Copies of this chain bind each other. A is one copy, B any other.
């Protein structure tokens, strides 16, 4: 399981930092979170095989998180005629309208089924100036010819958007405060049974096959010679499911806190240094101190900050006196009261190790 950052800049893409996007991988799964302009170029520079991506989650519809999506959806269709697995999109109300219009004006032909799921925004997510625009965010466009019907996911009684549950993962979202309706996504891996100790089982005379499965499910078995083997004798400790949160643009993520207790890895934006907090919050963003304090408040184990103002260079391309992300990193560590903080950089991959329950 790992995270590869494709773009870590705020507001717009630059030659130093692309606009927001990252890839979450686990075994065969490959999911994208946000897709700013230039994401497909970064994918070509990265270790990720773009054709493996099956899901794209969009936090909000600002251009630096969204405008790379139509190009990405087009490009993965090039070069192969054969049909491939569906791609599922998830994002706030308005995503269907944007994707359908972009694909329709360009007459984009796709070699895969496209499923657009919308997280229905609620009135309390709208900023005060919302009605000035009189935007109607519901799509009235016809479906794309390659589109299959998507779901509209609504808020449950606990204020959570339950996106889906698979054999391995539960994915949920909660609203973050920002200048436009914004979601934070939480991916929760289910606890997994431990590994079988095959050598020990062989020594005990257990033949490979259905008996192995019973042990893994937690049942005792009896070997052909009458020995009773209990699961704790042959199965390693269960693996605790990991929890990863993807929180981009926000000046206040507290509504998502109930989903975030003891999160193993929290990706959280930190756009500008602490000294610029007033301007930062006015723009709907967080400082490293805000990110660190929030991560600490939910007992996060590791914090990764990203979405840096383009003023901050990485140390490697830094000329004298230019501000760098090292400053933001130190400020986040101080507030988090831990050194377990990483400043993201374009094309950086961060591993998320397996956790034992015992």
Complex copy number for this chain: 2
What is the CA–CA distance of A101 and B98 in the complex, to the nearest angstrom? Answer: 6
Given contacts A44-B14, A78-B11, A78-B12, A68 and B37 within 8 Å (CB-CB): yes
Contact check, A137 vs B37: say whether CB atoms are below 8 A apart. Answer: no
Given contacts A11-B78, A41-B13, A75-B12, A67 and B133 within 8 Å (CB-CB): no
> In the complex, which of the residues B14, B19, B106, B145 contacts A66, with contact meaning CB atoms closer than 8 Å?
B106
A86 at the interface (CB under 8 A from B): no
Task: Enumerate chain B residues within 8 angstroms of A78, measured Cβ to Cβ.
Answer: 11-12
A contact residues, range? 35 or more
Task: Enumerate chain B residues within 8 angstroms of A13, measured Cβ to Cβ.
Answer: 38, 40-41, 71
A217 at the interface (CB under 8 A from B): no
Output the least CB separation between A282 and chain B (Å).
Answer: 13
What is the CA–CA distance of A314 and B105 in the complex, to the nearest angstrom? Answer: 32
Q: Known A-B contacts: A12-B78, A66-B105, A102-B102. Give 18 more (CB < 8 A).
A: A12-B71, A13-B40, A14-B41, A15-B45, A37-B38, A37-B40, A37-B68, A38-B41, A62-B106, A63-B70, A94-B105, A97-B105, A98-B101, A101-B101, A101-B102, A105-B135, A107-B135, A133-B145
